[in-house]
Amino acid sequence: MDHALKFYINGEWVDPAISPITTLDVINPATEQPFTKIAMGTATDVDKAVAAAKAAFESFSVTTKEERLALLKRILEIFIRRSDEIGAAISQEMGAPLAMAKAAQAGSGTAHLMEAIKAAEIFEYAYMQGTTRVVHEPIGVVAMITPWNWPINQIAAKVAPAIATGCTMVLKPSEIAPVSAILFAEIMDEAGVPKGVFNLVHGDGPTVGVALSGHKDVDMVSFTGSTRAGVSVAQTAAPTVKRVHQELGGKSPNIILRSADLDKAVRTGVTRCFGNSGQSCNAPTRMLVPQEAMDDAIAIARDAAEKFRTGDPNSANTDLGPVVSQLQFDKIQDLIQAGIDEGAELVTGGTGRPAELNAGYYVRPTIFARVGHDMRISREEIFGPVLSMIGYDDLDEAVEMANDTVYGLASYIQGDLKEAQALSKRLRTGNVYINDAPWDGAAPFGGYKQSGNGREYGVFGLREFVEIKGIVGFEE
């Protein structure tokens, strides 16, 4: 990690502005041991990075679509070449099983770059509306604050559309999982991104995140993380009236209809809930099951959960790695204990590590059944491999419980296609996934209510990074 103690500002790897530098250990969650250190930035480093981005905006904002497409294609080519290296870094920094980290975690970066290229090729940057010329122009300098759970996914989902639209940017990746971001910066440098267009400063939220969010020369903040942190970002940004895009928390319902193949639907629901060790904001963590099918659903869910193998991310036999940190582990343990204390039926799993593991932030894959709608495990985002099974009598009750949450990121429906399509209109979420539909990197991604504002991915992502200008009386 040659660049771990440096920041990428104005096209160069530079030392932090203030000496002696403050460093932070980066912990491998599978071993609980540090494997590298990063430098932690200050407001002074943010000022330098923002100044570089502001200066670069003048020229980059007027580049042609073709020039930006050529740049994105160079970035994609290098990213693909280094994809396995990025996957290995993600596995080490946040614990994803190595095969999954390479295929899905790093693979999502490839997908977002490809989708941004497709979107930029068809995006209407300008068009006539009567005698008015409507122009989409880059919004300016964008601060990007990204999370640890899908680190490259969220970096690529922000950086690629920003470049496609002519914006410049400063990235603050999660200090918990920063190594993949360093590799991404190296890719940007090798691709020949113009100086100042892309900048990277490491640091924590209270220091670097606050400095970016409130900076007078930052025109937009694009934030992905918890709802609590998203509120703080928005409050800090408010005095400068900048745009704030947020993708925040979730507590996604999975409605299993009476028309569903129960065995398939329950197994699918368990798998999607447990993916990435449950550390996905759109995970279907609340399974809504017809009351009369609950006993059978419990037996299926228990069997599905107990087939998951938790352990060393480097082992080809591992399905679930550790969660990312001691803080997350402790939070999950607290919520599992709350489920037990509040009287939910513990189907499998429970508190503590799996018996065969004595180190690492490993959580036992856990399922609760007959969960009360008002229990903490039904209301709070757990962000671990914990599923709550909730019974319903009729579909109106299922919809009411599904929507009765502060979140609105995603929902899932299993069953007859026509019935599911009709039901999708009643769910207050940014995405609805029907019958285990595969991920779509061009579908709009974002949430209702406290799950955020704005959308990412494909053309929808490009729209977030532009201002709209109307030139009235324009004649072609």
Catalytic residue among 93, 115, 175, 247: 247
Residue 185's closest CA among 44, 306, 33, 79?
A: 79
Active-site annotation holder among 281, 381, 456, 464: 281
Strand 345-348 relative to strand 366-369: parallel, antiparallel, unpaired? antiparallel
Residues 6+ apart with CB under 8 A from 401: 253, 286, 288, 373, 390, 392
Q: How far, in Å, CA of 234 to CA of 241, rounded?
A: 10
With CA atoms as reference, report the closest residue to 273 among 370, 366, 390, 397: 366
> Which two tokens mark 119?
């979107």
d(CA 179, CA 321) in angstroms, rounded, equals 18
According to DSSP, the residues that pair with 205 across neighbouring strands are none
Evaluate the CA torsion angle 422, 427, 430, 433 in order and state its sign.
Answer: negative
Three-state SS for 115-164 is HHHHHHHHCCCEEEECCEEEEEEECCEEEEECCCCCHHHHHHHHHHHHHH
167 is catalytic: no
Length of the chain: 476
Q: Determine the residue type at 58.
A: E
**Rounded to whole angstroms, how far apart are CA atoms 369 and 286?**
10
Contacts of 116 (CB under 8 A, 6+ apart): 72, 160, 161, 163, 164, 458, 461, 462
Cis status, amide bond into 20, omega within 30 of 0? yes
Residues 6+ apart with CB under 8 A from 297: 256, 262, 266, 287, 289, 369, 389
Task: List, as own/partner pairs, every contact residues 260-263 make where C-beta atoms lie below 8 angstroms and the sequence separation is at least 24, other chains included.
Answer: 260/414, 260/415, 260/416, 261/414, 262/293, 262/296, 262/297, 262/300, 263/300
**Tokens of residue 37, six digits:** 């250190």
- On the CB side of 467, how many CA atoms lie within 13 Å of its CA? 15
- Supply the residues annotated as catalytic: 247, 281
